[in-house]
Amino acid sequence: MSQSAEQLLRGAADDTVQDATPVFRKAIWRLLPFLFLGYVINTIDRANIAFAKLRMAEDIALTDAAYGIGAGIFYLGYILFEVPSNLYMQRVGARATLTRIMLLWGLVTVATAFVTTAQQLIVARFLLGVAEAGFFPGVILYLTYWFPAALRARITAVLFMAAMTAGVISGPLAGWIMSHFHGWLGLKDWQVLFVVEGIPAMLLGVFGWFWLADRPADAKWLTPGEKAAINHALAAGAPASQTHGRLADALREPKVYLAGLVFFCIYSGSNTVSYWMPTLIRGFGVEDLKVIGLVSSLPYLGGVIGMYLLARSSDRCLERRWHVGLPMFLSAACFLLLGVVQSNLLLSVTIMSVGAAAALSSLALFWSIPPALLNPSTAAAGIAIISCIGGMAGVVSQVVVGAIKSSTGNLYLAFDLIAVNLIVGALVLLLGIRARHLSDRKLK
């Protein structure tokens, strides 16, 4: 992980949290490395199609429009099964849920190597979404079982740094695999990519069955006193994790839809970057797979730095809204400028990197808002619904971007549309979700 347990705990002003610092440090070192690695693998397996596309398009007659559908339909499968998965996790526990999810998504990733048509790829992507459904909101909910609100922004930022870490390594890794392993076991370069990157998820899923504990009370590696300290700290804060709510209650909560709309707008930006960046970079005139992979890592390097600084500042100021909204405006401005500077390679890469890093940074900090925004009775279902609404951006944005690219040949027009979407989301956040709506530690 990019932060130590001590850095995560430093700055938490709540006295109850300070008193339980040793046990929270212990829990952080036990749980976060596993969750961090799982999220790294999750991000790589979800987005490796962006690099496979550069080679598989000719082999399976994949158009930009079909690719957009394939990239987007993943989220349809994810959305359909996300809320049931999150609610079912409360019955069977996080250990069984995360093990099942990791095994299935790894298996589908490997199977994707053997598609022979664009239609088969679309089906495989849908099944990958079904397999992964509930992973992210399940992890967010799982954190509320272990850590109070005073720590969750930084811990959530660490998880999103896993996504940034995956972004940093996935491009160079994909370029290396596809450049050096073409012909391995009779497979083409893009097929090898899916096989090699799908197996680790299955291995980690099996390991998680033996490593995770559903709640502090189930952890054999905690003493009775340590379990009591965690439970006391959770009870002293806003224990959203301890109340089981009904889906119907969350569906009637207006704040769920406001937060969902904000997430939709943020995710349309960060998601488009993930799936179209290699294509965009090749449009700059770069053809070598290794170079494309290296250049595609730059936004994620910026995202890691921005995410840490943003989360640190947000926790210190006890402010969330402007810390999320301002990076959204910055990202929108950069995306609008891409078409203007397209003739200058260095400037294009720089602006693309800053815009993508800003979108990714705001996405990370956003997830510290829902637990503070929602009532304890609606938190579990509400987080899943917000994730579902935002996940629709994955469907809509990829289909729209693919259609625009196929019909006009201009990817910059699509990024202009994404920029407008980011501006709308920032305004909804700042005007629709007021400071008084956030309950955790009097956040603003």
In 376-410, where does DSSP find H-type helix?
A: 379-408
With the CA atoms of 173, 178, 180 and 181 taken in that order, what torsion angle do they form, in degrees rounded to the nearest 10?
Answer: 110
Distance separating alpha carbons of residues 290 and 348, to the nearest angstrom: 19
Distance separating alpha carbons of residues 277 and 175, to the nearest angstrom: 14
With the CA atoms of 163, 167, 170 and 175 taken in that order, what torsion angle do they form, in degrees rounded to the nearest 10?
Answer: 170
Three-state secondary structure call for residue 168: helix
Burial (CB < 10 A; 0-12, 13-18, 19+), residue 188, is middle
Q: Both tokens of residue 73? A: 């339909």
Q: Both tokens of residue 27? A: 């829990």
Question: Which residues, 6 or more positions from 237, have their beta carbon under 8 angstroms from its beta carbon?
Answer: 14, 16, 17, 148, 149, 150, 440, 441
List the domain boundaries for the chain.
5-442
Contact between 155 and 28 (Cβ < 8 Å): yes
Contact between 391 and 85 (Cβ < 8 Å): no
* Cα–Cα nearest to 330, from 215, 422, 228, 407: 422
- Convert 77-92 to b/e letters by CB count within 10 Å (16 or more is b): bbbebbbebbbbbbee
∠20-24-28 over CA atoms, to 5°?
170
Q: What are phi and psi of 133, to 5 degrees?
A: -50, 130
Question: Which residues, 6 or more positions from 15, have their beta carbon under 8 angstroms from its beta carbon?
Answer: none
Distance separating alpha carbons of residues 167 and 178, to the nearest angstrom: 17
Question: How high is the pLDDT of residue 444?
Answer: 53
Question: How high is the pLDDT of residue 104?
Answer: 93
Distance separating alpha carbons of residues 409 and 423, to the nearest angstrom: 25
Q: Both tokens of residue 148? A: 């109070």
DSSP track, 104-126: HHHHHHHHHTT--SHHHHHHHHH
* Cα–Cα nearest to 71, from 11, 19, 129: 129
Distance separating alpha carbons of residues 324 and 269, to the nearest angstrom: 13
- Convert 309-325 to b/e letters by CB count within 10 Å (16 or more is b): ebbbebbeebebbebbb
Q: Both tokens of residue 442? A: 């009097």
Q: What are phi and psi of 151, to 5 degrees?
A: -110, -15
Question: Which residues, 6 or more positions from 274, have their beta carbon under 8 angstroms from its beta carbon?
Answer: 46, 47, 50, 167
Give tens-digit pLDDT for 343-376.
Answer: 787 888 888 888 888 888 887 788 778 877 777 6
Distance separating alpha carbons of residues 268 and 263, to the nearest angstrom: 8
Distance separating alpha carbons of residues 215 and 146, to the nearest angstrom: 7
CA-based torsion, 161, 269, 148, 230: positive or negative: negative
Contact between 233 and 16 (Cβ < 8 Å): yes
Stretches where the chain sits below pLDDT 50 are 2-3, 11-13, 238-244, 440-442
Question: How high is the pLDDT of residue 239?
Answer: 42
Residue that the structure tokens 């790829």 belong to: 121
Could you give the angle at which helices 289-296 and 254-283 cross, rounded to 10 degrees? 150
Contact between 162 and 304 (Cβ < 8 Å): no
Distance separating alpha carbons of residues 170 and 355, to the nearest angstrom: 19
Specify the CATH number for 5-442; select among 3.40.50.800, 1.20.1250.20, 1.10.8.60, 3.30.930.10: 1.20.1250.20
Question: How high is the pLDDT of residue 241?
Answer: 41
